[in-house]
Amino acid sequence: MKYKIILLVAILATIARANILVIAIEEKKLPYELSPKNYDLSSANYDNSVSNYDNSPSNYDNSSSNYDNSPSNYDNTVNGDRSILVEEEKKLIHYGYYITNKEGLTNFYSPKGKRLFYSPKGSMGLYHGTKGFFCGAIAKVQGKIRLALTEQGQRVLLLGEWYEPGR
């Protein structure tokens, strides 16, 4: 447990002000410690739940109308240093940006400011920005921090402004 906490702190500190690359993962192939089967990462765990006000899209600290989270903030643009990047045909494409708020929750937004995902303070889990279901994990892969997205998470990111599950 102590090793996991140290690793988590190191991972979260590393993403504080650096672009992050997305990788695709199959949820069923995730190791238990990064899986939603692990209660610590389950969206059923209140600490990870979207109904927890700290994680809620109705919390102003998580809203893109807050200038720190706004797409008009230079740090959140393609030229800033908080980009969510996807490699396509050996080019890195800007798919959005992320912010860690003062409470330690990390929000991930589309380029237009739609909240796509959040990762609660102290968690490596990644959850849908409004519905709260599991979308992946923040993980260290080959020594680098990556946004590891499940199939659902990939749909949310790639369809960004238009994707709502169940439609």
Mean pLDDT score across all residues of the chain: 87
Q: What is the predicted pLDDT for the residue at 6?
A: 41
Has residue 11 got a pLDDT over 70?
A: no
Residue 87 pairs with which residues in a beta bridge?
A: 92
Question: Rounded to whole angstroms, how far apart are CA atoms 126 and 119?
Answer: 5
Report yes or no on 166 lying in a domain.
no
Q: How many domains does the chain have?
A: 1
Is 165 within the bounds of a domain?
A: no
Report pLDDT for 142.
85
Q: What is the pLDDT of residues 14-44, one digit of tens each?
A: 445 589 999 999 999 988 988 999 999 999 9
Range of the domain at 13: 2-159
Residue 36 domain-assigned (yes or no): yes
One-letter amino acid at 158 equals L
Beta-strand pair 115-119/125-128? antiparallel
Each residue's pLDDT tens digit, 56-115: 999 999 999 999 999 999 999 999 989 999 999 999 999 999 999 998 999 999 999 999
**CB 93, CB 78: distance < 8 Å:** no
